[in-house]
Structure 1
Amino acid sequence: MTTPLPRSLDPAVGEILPGYLLRLAHRLSVQPLELGHLCGLTTGPVFPARHLVRLNDNQAQRVADACRLHPAEAHALTLSGQAPGYTPLRIDYLGRHQSPVTMANDGWVLTAFSRYCPDCLSDTAHLPGGPVWQGSWRLPHTFLCERHNRLLAWQCPACRGPAFSNGYRSDGRWRPTQLIPAPAQRLHPARCRHRPGAGRVAACGQFLDQSSGPPLRPTPAMTHAHRRLAEAATAEAGHEVTSLGQRVSAQWFFNDVRATISALHGSWPLAQDAFAEFGSMDTVAAHVEALRRTHREHTGALGDGRVARTFGHPPADTLPAATLMALTVTILDDPSGHHTLAQFLSALPSTSTAHIRLRQHAPHCSPAMTEAIRGSVRLPRKAAGQPAFFPQPPTHRGRLDPRTIPAVLPEHWAAPLDGLDAPRRQLRRDAAIRLVQMATGRSRRSAALYLEIPLGSLQSSTVTIRAWQKHPGNAEAYQNALHRVAEIAIAEGNPRGASAR
């Protein structure tokens, strides 16, 4: 059993594990790494970053026991606990099973560093243990502080490195990411933990709770985009947002965001010409130019490979990130935005990185985005996903437990299907089969047998629903509703009266 610490802290609103442990270590006057040992999060000299995104039940219990918390509070100190609607933090992202280690090294989760608001750090400096580092600052779509109406900072004003980071080597490559940068050093939570230079150099130590100059103010488009992205990231199961004129799940919306950014990067400077009224487009142009440099150029000691990332990732630098996200949301907010996207998509060379990524992402985007990709990039129909009727892709593998899916869906599970003008009994049977396919990747016949649905009933529902889906708009509406049913099933778990299989 883990021995409780002599003193602890209540987690602050929006705080996640790195900031919480940093405050607690400062209060107890111990190294963050030593605190990690006491909480059972590490046994060696490295503080694994995977704990940032998810804790298993045993880890959460040990953290709770040591820090005098409830296990639910420990789970809430992860990014997955605070951003349930953010797709890159899901186990079943883009049809692939990903581990916490994979997520902790994904460019769509800025685990290598954290942005920050100097004013927020100053405002919370009076709290026990020191100021609070907000968990949302770790996510690429969080680029401004609405409370103080400013874009977030990301560099230390003294060393000019990413402030809350383990730093990068002299050749421009990131040092291995850790849950808390420089974990063996005792530093006030407001101090820069970036380690400039080579070898076992000490962290910078500059205080970050004071601005070094006037803050950058967001444009109205940036503020609107930030709110739209934050709404989707914190969305619970069944919540819908708008993308390209359709109501879709938060999962589809964020996949649309990623596809749009790939299209903008790959076709640049078309967007710069089409949206000339957007401010700060020159910063995005500089970012894209850095991405297009050769490997040798952008990983050299004087290069900027440490912040450029890749074509599929948003910028690390806050201003181009804010501009690019605002442009992306502007396109997705437009019901005719697929026409704009078609111009960018059609300009992509078939061998480009963006083209290849879009081929992989298309089946996991909203129906409108998938159709835009198919029409412009000329993907094979199998790769394009919707509106293909069969098979149903395993989009929820690892999240949806097939043992909780009954052959007859409970009424409240099937509520999203009730608005569809389809034969009710066959549609619900078909939906149950598809849920098993979404959870397991089984064939349609195998999924029906798993649910103990007679093959005659399978054939009847297949013929009926296939014919119904051929009418314009039905396939897209059905997939949208089906994803909402899946989210309800995930949130509830085993339905009342359903037996586990």
Structure 2
Amino acid sequence: MSTRPLPRSLDPAPGELLPGFLLRLSHRLRIAPLHLAQHCGLHQPPASTFPTRHMLHLDPGKATVLARSLRLSPAEIHRLTLMHQAPEFPPLLEYLRSERSFETLVTEGWVFTRFSRYCPECLAEDRGAATSSWNGLWRLPMMVACLRHQRFLDWLCPDCGNPAFSTGIRETNRWRPASLVPAPLAVLHPAQCRSRVADGQRTPNAPYLYPLCGGRLDQRRPAIRPSAEIIELQEKLIRLATSPSSRPPVRSVNRPASASEHFNDLRAVTLLISGTWPAAAELFPRTPHLDTTAAHVEHRLVTLSTRKPGGNPHLIRALDRPPPDAATSAALLALASKFLTAECSSDYVSDLVARCDKKWPGRGKLLQMEPHCSAGFRFAAASRLDTLRPVGLGATLAVFPQAATHLGTLKAETVPQRLPDSWIETLTDLGREPDLYLRRDAAIRLVQMAKGGPRSEAGVYLGFDIPAVHAVSNALKNWQQTGDNARLYNQALARLADQIASSPDLIDYHRRRHHLNQWVIPEEDWNPIIDEVQRQQTPAGRQHTRWTHTRCLAASAIVWANITHGERLWAPTLRSIRDHPAPHPTTTSAATESRSIEGRGRRNSIHPLLATALKEYGSKLAALIDQGTAPAGTPTPHSPRPWAR
């Protein structure tokens, strides 16, 4: 592999991708694209193609080598990738941030890697590029119209009928192998069609070359003009895909959403439209070109219905794949967009999801996409989606929501382990008493709504252990599966989250839990508490009261529960009761003592006096913690202190 700079190069055209740049440079230097790529380090013999993934992203090392060879800067090389040109388009992020294969990205069709749409008039214009340049955004399925020339994009060669910028489709109606540049051994004008015209034929005296179409794609021909609504939608989608994530959010299903979430919503609704047709047409009967959308959806459904058992599983993914024809895709996207922007969009989305069942082929795909959708979409679909989730060993309907529906508004640190009674009032009309399990579940789910993540993570954040989280899920499963309980519960939690988020002077309970982790009342604080209780006791009471270390541990648990608004038995001093099958006897005794203090005990006992003193002490300590001036507590021991009286 040579990395010497080429004798001549080109300046990249605005919006150009690496494949188009290589075509222009190949035409200028009269070098086959494959040989050019080999010189630049993009290709290793003996392969006769090079991967299309290079148009999505280039690692820094390869970009540096390529920049040196092409006499460009690394920044200019990275600008030749879709990840730079459309940083907010989710399928590109999924490819880079997950273990999903590039082949999955190709199969699902939300990035056109096998071909490209194009505008003949743009290819015919020079615009300082010396010859025809291919716009990188034409590879995105939501690019349906050329705003410059006010026309739908084409996707087929008018001469051979094969998809543009592709090696073509076989006589068996299957794609030929894709390459970053089709027919990479041929030197052609960038606007010439590079598709093979027949199978099994080679050019005489050139065994590595096949007969190519060679037709010009830049010939001006009658255009189909999109409506003003499609042009407006196209402008919006381009702006969302290409703008940095710091831009103000859009609204999707009546709530703020990021650009990436909005695209995921659009994709999810597209899947729902295809899976529930003609429900969408019934909800929006006046949408233009419904017949075009109907023909596309029905073709997909027929293809799916004829799939043989055990056959190609990718056909299921194809249920939401955008059609390659720009006008058809525009009609489908316009219909899907109405579900996200209509005044009652939440009801419309809920209606579509309600029409799906567990036998629907797109169920798994929708459940996979849902956590990445906007808060508005998840809220609208949540109660209906719960009927689609798998139920079996380890599965329960109580796991929703997994993603943050109130990210940026509700703060997880303001959620205590034991919800205040004023908050619980929101959950009193659900037909179930707000018992221990419902209270715990509500707290766990509020944390999920604030910061996302699985239930186990949210439970541990609050101070529960994983078995306790599972016990809560199992206790509520049957109730949530009954009637409309799941939807009503979800709506009540959403109202509660909004109520908390709008409340002034919220407490950072997470800071308090963190400060009091493995904490016990220190001696210098415990002695004044004893003195205060003894001051109010009778002489006989003072004589018979023993201030043991066990009582100090119990008092510490009460203070912890008061300050953190947590459950007493989850206090650090009593945690071993939960964590170990045979907790230390001191801990067991402390738990019994703490129950007496919490219940205030008998009228003439010290428990009411001690509870009052601990409440006053806890209020002062909480203020110091909130101000960041509280000293660290003493580590929890199981042996008696020398200062115990």
TM-score, normalised by the number of residues in structure 2: 0.59
Preserved CA contact (<8 Å) 2:13 2:128: no
Matched with 1:118 is 120
Residue 250 of structure 1 pairs with residue 250 of structure 2: no
Query: Structure 1 residues 132 and 474, CA, compared in 2 at 3 Å: closer, same or farther?
Result: farther
Counterpart residue number, 1:404 = none
Tell me, in whole angstroms, the C-alpha distance in 2 between the residues paired with 1:307 and 1:27: 41
Contact 1:91 1:99 survives alignment (8 Å) = no
Which residue of the partner structure matches residue 541 of structure 2? none
How far apart are residue 271 of structure 1 and its match? 2.1
Deviation digits for residues 63-117 of structure 1 (CA, Å, limit 9, x no counterpart): 1011111111111111111100000001468x94335554355411011110000
Q: How does 1:387-466 map to 2 (within 5 A)?
A: 388=401, 417=408, 443=457
- Of structures 1 and 2, the larger Rg is shown by 2
State the alpha-carbon separation in 1 of the partners of residues 500 and 116 from structure 2. Answer: 41
Distance in 2 (alpha carbons) for counterparts of 1:15 and 1:71: 15
Partner of 2:144: 143
User: Equivalent residues in 2 for 1:355-366 (5 A)?
Assistant: 355-366=363-374
Select the residue among 51, 58, 66 that pairs with 1:63.
Answer: 66
Deviation at 1:247, TM superposition (A): 1.1
Q: Assess, with a 3 A threshold, how the Cα gap between structure 1 residues 184 and 271 changes in structure 2: closer, same or farther.
A: same
Aligned partners of 2:171, 2:396: CA distance in 1, in Å?
Answer: 42
Q: What is the rounded CA distance, in whole Å, between the counterparts of 1:440 and 1:5 in structure 2?
A: 53
Superposed CA offset, 1:313-333 (max 9, x none): 111111110111111122211
Question: Is the 2:110–2:321 Cα contact (8 Å) retained in structure 1?
Answer: yes
Q: 1:346 to 1:48 in 2, by over 3 A?
A: same
Residues 9 and 24, structure 1, Cα contact 8 Å, conserved in 2: yes
Q: Is the 8 A contact 1:359 1:383 kept in 2?
A: no
Counterpart among 498, 503, 511 of residue 473 in structure 1: 498
Equivalents in 1 of 2:349, 2:49: separation in Å? Answer: 44
Asked if 1:81 corresponds to 2:84, the answer is yes
Partner of 1:234: 242
Corresponding residue for residue 348 of structure 1: 356
SS in 2 for 1:311: helix
Q: Distance in 1 between matches of 2:102 and 2:455?
A: 22
CA distance, structure 2, for counterparts of residue 25 and residue 34 of structure 1:
9
What is the 5 A alignment of 1:122-271? 122-124=124-126, 127-128=129-130, 130-200=131-201, 201-212=210-221, 214-239=222-247, 240-271=249-280
Residue 52 (structure 2) aligns with: 49
Say if 2:29 is the partner of 1:28.
Answer: yes
Describe the SS at the equivalent of 1:157: coil
The farther-off stretch of 325-334 and 346-355 is 346-355
Cross-structure match for 1:497: none
Aligned partners of 2:63 and 2:412: how far apart in 1?
45
**Equivalent residue letter for 1:360:** Q
- Scaled by the length of structure 1, what TM-score is found? 0.75
Whole-angstrom distance in 2 between the partners of 1:383 and 1:111: 39
Give the Cα–Cα distance (whole angstroms) in 2 for the partners of residues 157 and 117 of structure 1.
13
- Please name the residue that 1:329 is paired with: 337
Distance 1:309 1:316, change over 3 A: farther
- Please list the CA deviations of residues 281-307 of structure 1 after superposition, one character each: whole Å capped at 9, or x if unmatched: 2222221122122479799xxxxxx99
Q: Which stretch shifts more, 279-288 or 368-377? A: 368-377
Q: Equivalent residue for 2:439?
A: none
Contact 2:87/2:243 (CA < 8 Å) preserved in 1?
A: yes
SS at match of 1:247: strand
1:442 to 1:99, Cα distance in 2 relative to 1, 3 A = farther
Equivalent-residue separation in structure 2 for 1:281 and 1:341 (angstroms): 18
State how far apart, in whole Å, the 1-side matches of 2:148 and 2:307 are. Answer: 36
Cα drift, residue 124 of structure 1: 2.3
- What percent of counterpart residues are identical? 37
Structure 2 vs 1, CA of residues 248 and 38 (structure 1 numbering), >3 Å: closer, same or farther? Answer: same
Unaligned runs of 5+ in 1: 300-305, 396-415, 449-453, 457-466, 478-501
CA–CA separation in structure 2 for the residues paired with 1:384 and 1:32: 54
Partners in 2 of 1:439 and 1:227 — Cα distance?
A: 34
Q: Distance in 2 between matches of 1:155 and 1:385?
A: 49
Structure 2 SS opposite 1:258? helix
Secondary structure at the aligned position of 2:329 is classed as helix
Distance 1:5 1:171, change over 3 A: same
State the Cα RMSD in Å.
3.8
Q: Which has the higher contact order (CA 8 A, sep 6+)?
A: 1
Contact 2:410 2:501 in 1 (8 A): no
Query: Could you say if the C-alpha distance between residues 293 and 468 of structure 1 is closer, same or farther in structure 2, counting changes exceeding 3 Å?
Result: closer
Distance 1:235 1:386 in 2: 34
Are the aligned partners of 2:198 and 2:211 in contact in 1 as well (CA < 8 Å)? Answer: no
Q: Is the 8 A contact 2:254 2:346 kept in 1?
A: no
2:111 aligned partner:
109
Letter matched to residue 282 of structure 2:
D
> 1:10-32, CA deviations, whole angstroms, 9 ceiling, x for partnerless residues?
11110010101110111110111
Find the residue that maps to 1:42 and give its secondary structure: coil
Compare the two structures and name the one with the higher helix fraction.
2
Q: 1: CA distance between counterparts of 2:10 and 2:452? A: 41
Give the Å deviation of 1:178.
0.9
- Rate the CA distance shift 1:264–1:39 in 2: closer, same or farther, 3 A: same
Equivalent position amino acid for 1:165 in 2: S
Report if the CA contact (8 A) 1:358-1:373 is conserved: no
Aligned equivalents of 2:6, 2:134: Cα separation in 1: 22
How far did 1:206 drift?
0.7
Q: Which runs of 5+ in 2 are unaligned?
A: 202-209, 309-313, 417-443, 465-491, 503-645
Distance in 2 separating the partners of 1:67 and 1:186: 18
Instruction: Report how far residue 176 of structure 1 moved.
Output: 1.7
